[in-house]
């Protein structure tokens, strides 16, 4: 059999082409990736190496409904009728049903619940858009005509004049499997890993991962901002590699560029950038502690073990603390249930309907105000609250206006926005949304509806049937699931037929289930997706062999509140940062919040390691130790941009290593 490509070659091809190469399952025997996740998600499933990997298609739970059967979105052809009617314009649905100038507060949950939803969404899905030039060289900013890849959002017009907001279609996914349906139909791509694996912290490609690491420090840590620190000397995220960046600047003239993190959307909002900052600091805090506990660990081992802990904490906070509040404990039991171990027949890939509709439920809970609180959780004396649209892409406000604490307290110490059918999206999002490189103000509600049509998602009723729920046939049926009868009437008036209702809108207006923040349809779709993300992940924190019993017990002490205590100057928190209480009711000093004891990760030097001594360090690469059958093996790998020359694995035999360590030479693509 001809020699397979090396692992480094496979990852390089995937990165340069943005399409994973057709991988042969034998490449997944690569033992380095039996111990730790690959950065791209490749080989999580050994038999189906692409399941859940970056740059693979979003999966379809129901077939796509393109107008030409292959690639034209719903609403592409002007005269096309659905059940005897044209689909309403997304902008009309937005202004008549979704836009709201006022919002009520949620008495149970804090705004951090909303922010975690966005943050964890960015850990599991990202659908890239086309760059916006048509085949004829026209820019999507300049046309109101449907011409691939432009699918503009038309403004309802009485005069017949055309006005529109630009809209770029999602780029088609790579054709990676020999699936005839996929070859004939346009599919969209998830450009990041589907797993809850903290890729928001570490990235999805070897190149980005390498940029985010402090490789020269040889300490297993992540790189930090070299220009700014907070008033207490704590670190900020590093800036993006290409400067100057497109982030907004403050009035004082000193530049603060866009932050860089594992996910490129980090600068979209201030609370989001703050959650990213907490995890950067938490990684470096844990790496430092593990280095002290296990002085014989290589920098690569420290980095990978810390990454594993951070990934586990993301999974625990999401499944234990976040999800039951979103879909309700009853739906959690129904759709997710107790963990029964890794199931290699479960495809963990993110579904199209989850990424493009169901998990966008949170847009209706976004507050029009970004609050900034002082140490007593009152409005900050120096830094006033901000209108949402003034806070987009503005990392300068963190660096120049008091660090992460004012916004952090504002996010945990203020109530989320309540969702009700008559108050859906704040006009800060429907009239004043800022999208970088766009001269126009955009409308998030219209973007979501148009995206669902771009992806050819079946309608609301099809998804209700998919979840085993009765379909809506009459106004009375709709009134049963939407208790605001005025809104139910308005929806049928705008859509003309129940089968035409877009899934995102239908799911959003349903009555919320008890103790939840979603209606029955979104609870079903989110629940089903989260179950596949858990059960189909070979590296899930509870899976056999991932952590010792003692380590699992320590991980369960972890919480977002503890991460806040350990990595900011916030001194008092609620035990659960997603709950809302008015300060000081229920707030505890940080010393009363349980914390993990990292001693559970102490690892004594093995007899073999004592005999053979530590393997030699190499330039531009590193090793991890792995115990083969009765043997200690040092597995070497090179940093991004370098390739191995020599033996990738050397074994401890007798009292010496079997071979010289390899070298890392420059890899010229």
**For the segment 218-258, what is each residue's pLDDT rounded down to a tens digit?**
999 999 999 999 999 999 999 999 989 999 999 987 899 99
Please state, in angstroms and rounded to a whole number, the distance separating the CA atoms of residues 167 and 149: 9
State how many domains the chain has.
Answer: 1
Q: Is residue 375 scored above 80 in pLDDT?
A: yes
pLDDT for residue 143: 87
- Which of 541, 596, 588, 589 minimizes the C-alpha distance to 563? 596
Q: Is residue 266 scored above 60 in pLDDT?
A: yes
Q: Is residue 173 scored above 80 in pLDDT?
A: yes
130 located within any domain: no
541 located within any domain: no
Question: What mean pLDDT is reported for the chain?
Answer: 91
Instruction: Place 34 in a pLDDT band, splitting at 50, 70 and 90.
Output: confident
pTM attached to this predicted model:
0.94
pLDDT (average), residues 509-518? 94
pLDDT (average), residues 205-211? 95
Q: Which residues are annotated as a binding site?
A: 363
pLDDT for residue 101: 66
> At 658, which CATH number?
2.10.70.10
pLDDT for residue 1: 34
Q: Do 61 and 353 meet the contact criterion of CB atoms below 8 Å apart?
A: yes
pLDDT for residue 378: 96
pLDDT for residue 363: 87
Q: What is the pLDDT of residues 624-663, one digit of tens each?
A: 998 877 789 999 999 999 999 998 999 999 899 999 999 9
Q: Is 36 exposed, middle or buried (0-12, 13-18, 19+ CB in 10 A)?
A: middle
Q: What is the pLDDT of residues 468-497, one digit of tens each?
A: 999 999 999 999 999 889 999 999 999 999
pLDDT for residue 178: 47
Q: What is the pLDDT of residues 338-369, one digit of tens each?
A: 999 999 999 999 999 999 999 999 888 888 89
Please state, in angstroms and rounded to a whole number, the distance separating the CA atoms of residues 232 and 569: 8
Catalytic-residue membership of 122: yes
Q: Which residues are annotated as a binding site for heme b?
A: 363
Q: Is residue 104 scored above 70 in pLDDT?
A: yes
- Return the SS3 of 455: coil
650 located within any domain: yes
pLDDT for residue 367: 87
219 located within any domain: no
Q: Is residue 19 scored above 80 in pLDDT?
A: no
Q: Which domain holds residue 617?
A: 607-666
129 located within any domain: no
Please state, in angstroms and rounded to a whole number, the distance separating the CA atoms of residues 155 and 89: 8
617 located within any domain: yes
Q: What is the pLDDT of residues 580-615, one digit of tens each?
A: 999 999 999 999 999 999 999 999 999 999 999 999
pLDDT for residue 418: 83
256 located within any domain: no
Angstrom distances, CA of residue 182 to CA of 37, 42, 58, 60, 161: 28, 20, 11, 10, 38
- Which of 311, 316, 214, 211 minimizes the C-alpha distance to 262? 211
229 located within any domain: no
Q: Which of 122, 276, 283, 455 is catalytic?
A: 122
């Amino acid at each position: 059999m001809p020699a397979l490509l090396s692992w480094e070659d496979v990852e390089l091809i995937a990165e340069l082409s943005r399409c994973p190469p057709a991988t042969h399952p034998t490449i997944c025997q690569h033992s380095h990736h039996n111990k730790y996740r690959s950065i791209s998600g490749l080989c999580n499933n050994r038999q189906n190496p692409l399941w859940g990997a970056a740059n693979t298609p979003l999966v379809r739970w129901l077939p796509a409904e393109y107008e030409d059967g292959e690639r034209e979105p719903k609403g592409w052809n002007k005269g096309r009728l659905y059940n005897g009617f044209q689909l309403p314009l997304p902008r009309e649905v937005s202004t008549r049903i979704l836009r709201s100038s006022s919002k009520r507060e949620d008495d149970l949950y804090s705004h951090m619940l909303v922010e975690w939803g966005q943050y964890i969404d960015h850990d599991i899905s990202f659908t890239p858009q086309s760059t916006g030039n048509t085949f004829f060289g026209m820019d999507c900013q300049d046309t109101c005509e449907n011409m691939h890849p432009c699918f503009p959002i038309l403004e309802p017009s009485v005069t017949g004049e055309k006005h529109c907001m630009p809209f770029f279609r999602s780029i088609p996914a790579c054709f990676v499997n020999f699936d005839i349906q996929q070859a004939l139909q346009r599919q969209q791509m998830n450009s990041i890993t589907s797993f809850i694996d903290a890729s928001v912290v570490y990235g999805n490609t070897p190149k980005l991962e390498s940029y985010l690491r402090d490789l020269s420090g040889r300490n297993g840590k992540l790189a930090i901002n070299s220009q700014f620190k907070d008033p207490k000397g704590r670190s900020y995220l590093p800036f993006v590699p290409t400067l100057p960046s497109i982030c907004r600047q403050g009035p004082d003239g000193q530049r603060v560029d866009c932050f860089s993190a594992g996910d490129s959307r980090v600068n979209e909002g201030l609370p989001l950038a703050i959650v990213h900052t907490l995890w950067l600091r938490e990684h470096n805090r844990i790496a430092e502690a593990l280095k002290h506990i296990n002085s014989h660990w290589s920098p690569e081992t420290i980095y990978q073990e810390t990454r594993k802990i951070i990934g586990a904490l993301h999974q625990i906070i999401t499944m234990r603390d976040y999800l039951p509040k979103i879909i309700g404990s009853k739906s959690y039991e129904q759709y997710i249930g107790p963990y029964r171990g890794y199931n290699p027949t479960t495809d963990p890939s993110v579904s199209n309907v989850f990424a493009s509709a169901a998990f966008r439920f949170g847009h209706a809970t976004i507050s029009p105000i970004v609050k900034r609180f002082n140490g007593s959780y009152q409005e900050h004396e120096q830094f006033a609250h901000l209108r949402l649209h003034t806070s987009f892409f503005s990392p300068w406000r963190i660096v120049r206006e008091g660090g992460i604490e004012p916004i952090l307290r504002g996010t945990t110490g203020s109530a989320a926005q309540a969702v009700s059918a008559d108050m859906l999206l704040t006009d800060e999002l429907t009239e004043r949304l800022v999208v970088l490189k766009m001269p126009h103000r955009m409308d998030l509600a219209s973007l979501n509806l148009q995206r669902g049509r771009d992806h050819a998602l079946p309608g609301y009723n099809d998804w209700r049937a998919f979840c085993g729920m009765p379909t809506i046939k009459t106004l009375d049926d709709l009134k049963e699931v939407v208790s605001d009868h005025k809104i139910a009437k308005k929806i049928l008036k705008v859509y003309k037929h129940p089968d035409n209702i877009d899934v995102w809108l239908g799911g959003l207006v349903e009555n919320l289930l008890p103790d939840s923040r979603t209606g029955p349809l979104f609870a079903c779709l989110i629940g089903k997706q989260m179950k596949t993300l858990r059960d189909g992940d070979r590296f899930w924190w509870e899976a056999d062999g991932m952590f010792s019993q003692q380590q699992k017990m320590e991980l369960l002490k972890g919480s977002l509140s503890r991460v806040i205590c350990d990595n900011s100057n916030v001194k008092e928190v609620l035990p659960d940062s997603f709950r809302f209480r008015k300060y000081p009711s229920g707030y505890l000093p940080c010393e009363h919040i349980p914390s993990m004891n990292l001693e559970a990760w102490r690892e004594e030097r093995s007899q073999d390691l004592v005999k053979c001594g530590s393997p030699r360090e190499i330039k531009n690469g590193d090793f991890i130790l792995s115990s083969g059958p009765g043997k200690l093996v040092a597995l070497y790998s090179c940093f991004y941009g370098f390739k191995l020359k020599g033996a990738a694995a050397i074994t401890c035999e007798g009292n010496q290593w079997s071979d010289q360590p390899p070298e890392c030479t420059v890899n010229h693509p």
